[in-house]
Structure 1
Amino acid sequence: MICGGSASGYHYDVASCNGCKAYFRRYIISERNLKCKGNEDCFDLTKREKPIKCRPCRYKKCLEVGMNPLALEVDEKEAEAKNFKKVTKRIKEEEIEKIDVVDDNSKQIMLRKVESAGERMQKITDMLTYLESRLEQFRLSAYNPHWSEVQGLDCILRSSNRISLADKYGPMPGWPLTTEQTHPIMSSVKPSGIKGPPPHSKDKKHWLYFNLMATVEYAKTFMFFHKMNARDQFILTKYVTLACMNLHVSFESVSRKFEVRVNPDGEKQLYKNEEYYSNSVMSVVPLIRYKVESIEYMLLKAICLCNPGQFPMNLSFVSTEKPFSAVPDLSEHGQLLLATERQHYADTLFDHCLRNRENGPSHFTDLIGIIDVLERQQRIQKDLHLLYIAPLVAKAPKENVIQIIEDIMDS
C-alpha cells in the first residue's frame, strides 16, 4: 500500500513489504525532519508506476495509508523521539475530540461509533482477503521444494516467510483444474508397509506436506504471532495447523463447486472405507449446509488460528485475569495474546453476521460450531496417524520421513 511492491504481510496495521515496514520504524523513532525537494507526491502511485526515491514522501505515505505508531514496540528512549511523540500526540488528541463530541451530542457520537466499528471491520476483512489471495497464489505456484529442504516445523518457524516466493516462481501451468479434469486418488485405511513418500517431481506436489507448510506460513503473517516466544509459536502451530489446513482446503473445494476436498491439481483423496471417507469430508459438509461466505470463512480461520478448541459461545469469553486457553502448555503471555486476538476476530464475525444475515446470532453460533467439527476431525486424523503410520515411520529410513508431517501429527 506504500511503494506498490509485494507485501510480505500486515505491518503496523497496513499491508506492506519488509522495506517499508523497517523504514517506517526507523523514521518514526528518529529526530529527522526531512522535506521533499519536489511536489510532495513522489509516492503517489496514481501519477506514476513506481515511486521516486524520497524519504520524507515515503514516511508521509506510511502515515496516509494508516501505519499505526502505537503498534510499534519501543523502549523508553525510542518513545521520547520527536517524530514518535508528535504522531502519537496527534492520535491521542483526535481521540479526545471524539469524546468531546459525545458530551455535546450523544446522537452524533453513536453514529461515529457505528462508522468506527464498520471501518475496523473493513480493515480486518481487507487484510484477511489480501492474505488469502496471497496464500492461494502460493499453493498454485510452481514453488515445490523437496521435503528434505524443510527440516520440520521448527525449521519453518525460524526461516523467512515463503509466501512471497509465489511471485518469483510464478503459477504452475494448467492449475487449477476443472471438475472434469480431476482424478481421484484411492487410499486404503491401513497401509501394508511404508516405502516412503512418492518420488519428488517439480510438476507434482505432495499435498499434505505442502498444505501444512503453507498453513504455517499463513500463521507467520499475523502480527500477534511474532509477539509470542519461540516455544509458544511451536506449541500453537503444532496444535492448530491441521485444523486450519482442513478448513482452507475444504472451503477452496466448496467454492469451486466440489463436494469433496480437491487440491489445485485436481487430486481428490477418496477412501475405500465409508467411515474414513466420511471423516475426510467432515469439514466440507457444514460449509455447504450453512452456505458459508468468503468473509465468514476467513474470520473463522483466524479464530481457529488463535486457538481452536472449545470456548464459551458468546462475545465475552476473554478474561484478562484468567485467559482461557484450550492449547496446553502455553505461557500466560501466549494465552493472553491468543484470547485477545480470538475475541477481536469473533467480535468482527458476530458484527458481520448481524449486518448481513437475517438470523445473525444463530448463524454466528452455527459458524462457531464448525470449530468443534474441525477439532474432532483433526483428532481422528492424528489418532489414525499414530495408530497406523507412526509405527512404520519409526522403521523407515530418515530420508523417507517428511518431518513436518510427523511434528504436527504428533500432538
Structure 2
Amino acid sequence: MDEPSCSNSPVDLPEIIPQLKVYAERPKDCFVCGGSASGYHYDVPACNGCKTFFRRYVISKRLFTCKLNDDCFDLSTRDVPVKCRACRINKCFAVGMNPHALEVDKTNTDCLKEVTKRKNMIGNDAVNEKQLVLNSLESMENKIQKIADMLTYLELKLDQFRASSYNPHWAEVRGLEFVLNSTNRISLADKFGPMPGWPLLDNNLSPSRPPPLSHEKLVIGGPPPYSPKKKHWLYFNMLATIEYAKTFMFFHELLPRDQLILIRYTTLACVNLLVSFSSVSKKYDTAVHPDGTLQMHRNQEYYSSNVMSIIPLIRYQVQQIEYVLLKAICLCNPAVPDLSKHAQLLLAEERQKYSEALLDHCIRNIGNGPSRFTDLIGIIDVLERQQRMQKDLHLLYIAPLVAKTPKDNIVQIIEDVMDS
C-alpha cells in the first residue's frame, strides 16, 4: 500500500512549529547587570534579580533619578554596577527588555490599574520609545500548567475507561463514522466501574505463559470470540483514542470530512504511544495491557512493529507531562493529506500551542532544553514509521483473510483505520 509521506523530521522544527522562537542554548550572562542569567525574561537574558526589578518598576508608582552621571550600569567603564535604580531601569530598556511581555494576572484589578497608570507615566518619561502595552493574559508558566493539568486529567479518565467493565461488542460500534457521530463514551467508565478481577491472575507475565495466538490466526473466520470480561485490545484502544480526540474543542470545529480524515490517519500512532507509555510507566519493555496480558506475536515483523515506540520512551525517560503533550501534538497533525485549508490552519494553531508548551517545559526543567525538545519531537517520526509498517503488514497478511470473512465478524474500526 502506497502511503503518503507525512513524517515530522526532528531537525525541521519550522515545519513542526511555525514561527516558534527557539533559543539555541540557555543564556549565561545577564544583559543588565552582567551576573549569571537564569533564563530569558521579557525577551532578554537576565538574572532573577533584574527580572523582578523590571516587573516591580513597571507596576509600581515610583520614578527614579540618578544622583551621579547616569552611567551607573555602564559595564564598559566599571566591572560592578553601582546600586542605582534609575540607571538600572534605563539599562533594562536599553538592552531590550520588553514591557509587552509583562505577565499580569487579569483577575488582579489593583495590579491592572497600576500597570495602566504606569503605561501613561512611561509614555511621558524618557523611555517613551518603550511604550508599555498591557498583556492581560496569564503568564506562560500558568498557561503551560493549565494545559498540562487538562491533558493529565484527560489521560487519567482515559486510563479508567480502558480499565472499565464497559466492553461493547464490535458489532455495536459500526466503524469510524458511527463513533464520530455518537456521544462521547469516556464518562461511561464511572457508570460501569472497573473490570472485576483485573489484572488477570492467570495471565501474569512469566516465561511459562505461552504467547497468545497471532493476529493472522485469529482473524480466520472472524475475530476472537467475544467475552464481556475480556477485551479485544486493538479494537478497544482505537475506540478509546477516538473518544480522546473528541474531547478537544478544536476537533468539533472541523468539518465532518476533516474529522474522518484526521482520525483515520492519526489513531494508530496515538494508540501506539498510549500503549507504549502505559507499559514503560509500569517498568515493562514490551507492550502490556490494563488486564495484565502481554501483547505478543509469533510473527517477528508484527512483534517488532509493536515495540518500536517503546525504545525511545525508555531511552529518553519520557515524563508524564511530556507524554501527554507529545500525544496532543501527534493528534494535531496539519500535514495529513487531503485536509481542507481550514483544518490545516486550525490544526497548525493547536499543534503550535502544545509544541510551545513542551518546549517551555524542556527549557524550564531540563539542562539542555532545546536538545531535549528535539529528541521528544523525533518520537513522532518513529510513530509515523511504526504505523506505516503496521498498515503495510495488515494489508499483506490480514486484509486477504478479512476479505474472506463474513461481514458481521469484521471489526470495522480496525479496518477503517488500517485501510488508510
The aligned runs of 1:61-76 (5 Å cut-off) are none
Residue 125 of structure 1 aligns to a residue in which SS? helix
**Contact kept in structure 2, 1:242 and 1:408, CA below 8 Å:** yes
What residue ranges of structure 1 are gaps of 5+ in the alignment? 1-89, 308-324
Q: Does 1:290 align with 2:313?
A: no
Deviates more, 1:211-220 or 1:93-102: 93-102
Residue 185 of structure 1 aligns to a residue in which SS? coil
Partner of 2:344: 335
Distance in 1, matches of 2:183 and 2:140, equals: 34
Distance in 1, matches of 2:415 and 2:291, equals: 24
User: Structure 1 residues 197 and 156 mapped into 2: Cα distance closer, same or farther (>3 Å)?
Assistant: same
The aligned runs of 1:335-354 (5 Å cut-off) are 335-354=344-363
Partner of 2:141: 118
Distance in 1, matches of 2:133 and 2:141, equals: 12
Larger relative contact order (C-alpha < 8 A, sep ≥ 6)?
A: 2
Distance in 1, matches of 2:218 and 2:160, equals: 36
Distance in 2, matches of 1:207 and 1:359, equals: 38
The residue type equivalent to 1:330 in the other structure is L
Q: Does 1:206 align with 2:232?
A: yes
Residue 269 of structure 1 aligns to a residue in which SS? coil
Q: Considering only aligned residues, what root-mean-square deviation do their CA atoms show, in Å?
A: 2.9
**Contact kept in structure 1, 2:115 and 2:134, CA below 8 Å:** no
Q: How far is 1:371 from its partner?
A: 0.1
Equivalent of residue 165 in structure 1, options 188, 192, 202 = 188
Equivalent of residue 408 in structure 1, options 388, 402, 417 = 417
**Contact kept in structure 2, 1:135 and 1:163, CA below 8 Å:** yes
Partner of 2:366: 357
Distance in 2, matches of 1:302 and 1:175, equals: 29
The residue type equivalent to 2:168 in the other structure is P
Residue 178 of structure 2 aligns to a residue in which SS? helix
The residue type equivalent to 1:358 in the other structure is G
The residue type equivalent to 2:166 in the other structure is Y
Larger-gyration structure (1/2): 2
Partner of 2:250: 224
**Contact kept in structure 2, 1:152 and 1:404, CA below 8 Å:** yes
What residue ranges of structure 2 are gaps of 5+ in the alignment? 1-105
Q: Does 1:239 align with 2:248?
A: no
**CA deviation digits over 1:241-293, x for unaligned, max 9?**
00001001110110011110110111212233444422211010100000000
Deviates more, 1:193-202 or 1:217-226: 193-202
The aligned runs of 1:80-95 (5 Å cut-off) are none
**Contact kept in structure 2, 1:184 and 1:267, CA below 8 Å:** no
User: Structure 1 residues 102 and 327 mapped into 2: Cα distance closer, same or farther (>3 Å)?
Assistant: farther
Q: Does 1:138 align with 2:164?
A: no
The residue type equivalent to 2:254 in the other structure is M
Distance in 1, matches of 2:180 and 2:159, equals: 20
User: Structure 1 residues 405 and 357 mapped into 2: Cα distance closer, same or farther (>3 Å)?
Assistant: same
Partner of 2:330: 304
User: Structure 1 residues 196 and 114 mapped into 2: Cα distance closer, same or farther (>3 Å)?
Assistant: same
Deviates more, 1:161-170 or 1:177-186: 177-186
Distance in 1, matches of 2:236 and 2:117, equals: 53
Partner of 1:263: 289
User: Structure 1 residues 197 and 115 mapped into 2: Cα distance closer, same or farther (>3 Å)?
Assistant: same
**Contact kept in structure 1, 2:158 and 2:244, CA below 8 Å:** yes
**Contact kept in structure 1, 2:203 and 2:292, CA below 8 Å:** no
Q: Does 1:248 align with 2:274?
A: yes
Distance in 1, matches of 2:116 and 2:398, equals: 61
Q: Does 1:151 align with 2:151?
A: no
Give the TM-score, by structure 2 length.
0.67
Distance in 2, matches of 1:138 and 1:327, equals: 28
Distance in 2, matches of 1:389 and 1:228, equals: 32
Residue 251 of structure 2 aligns to a residue in which SS? helix
Distance in 1, matches of 2:177 and 2:374, equals: 35
Q: Does 1:373 align with 2:382?
A: yes
